[in-house]
Structure 1
Amino acid sequence: MPVEVVPYSEAWPTQFANVAGDLSRTLETLPVVSIEHVGSTSVPDLAAKPILDIDIIVKRQHVAAALSALATKGYVHRGDLGVTDREALEAPDEHPPRNVYVCVDGTLHLRNHLAVRDILRRRADFRERYGAVKVELARDPEIDITTYIAKKSDVLQDVLAASDLSDEEKALILKLNTSTRASATPE
Structure 2
Amino acid sequence: MKKQIEIVPYRTSWEADFQTEKKAIEILLPEKVAIYHIGSTSIPNMFADPIIDLMIVVKSLNQFDEYGDVLKTLGYEQMGDHSNQNRRFFIKCEDNCSFHIHVFAEGNNAIERNIAFREYMIAHTDQAMEYIKLKTELAKKFPKNKKEYKRGRKEFIEEIDKKAGKWKN
TM-score bin, normalised by smaller chain: 0.7 to 0.9
| Structure 1 runs (4+) greater than 6 angstroms displaced | none
Which structure features the higher share of strand residues? 2
Q: Please list every run of 5 or more consecutive structure 1 residues that lacks an aligned counterpart in the other structure.
A: 166-187
Secondary structure of 1:102's match? strand
Partner of 1:13: 15
Give the residue type in structure 2 aligned to 1:24.
E
Give the secondary structure class of the aligned counterpart of 1:15: helix
Contact 2:40 2:46 in 1 (8 A): yes
Query: For residues 59 and 147 of structure 2, what CA distance do their matches in structure 1 show?
Result: 30
More moved, 16-25 vs 61-70: 61-70
Aligned to 1:110: 111
Matched, 1:85 2:83: no
State yes or no: 1:138 paired with 2:113: no
Range with greater deviation from structure 2 (134-143 or 52-61): 134-143
2:77 maps to 1:76: yes
Equivalent position of 1:45 in the other structure = 45
Give the CA deviation at 1:72: 4.2
Cα distance, 1:62 vs structure 2: 2.9
Q: Percent identity?
A: 25
Alpha-carbon spacing, 1:147–1:93, altered in 2? closer, same or farther (3 Å): same
Contact 1:36 1:56 in 2 (8 A): yes
Return the TM-score normalized by structure 2: 0.84
Coordinate RMSD, CA, aligned = 2.3
- Matched letter for residue 164 of structure 2: S
The aligned residue for residue 123 of structure 1 is: 124
- Give TM-score, length-normalised by structure 1: 0.77
Q: Provide the aligned length of Structure 1 versus Structure 2.
A: 163
Structure with the higher fraction of residues in helix conformation: 2
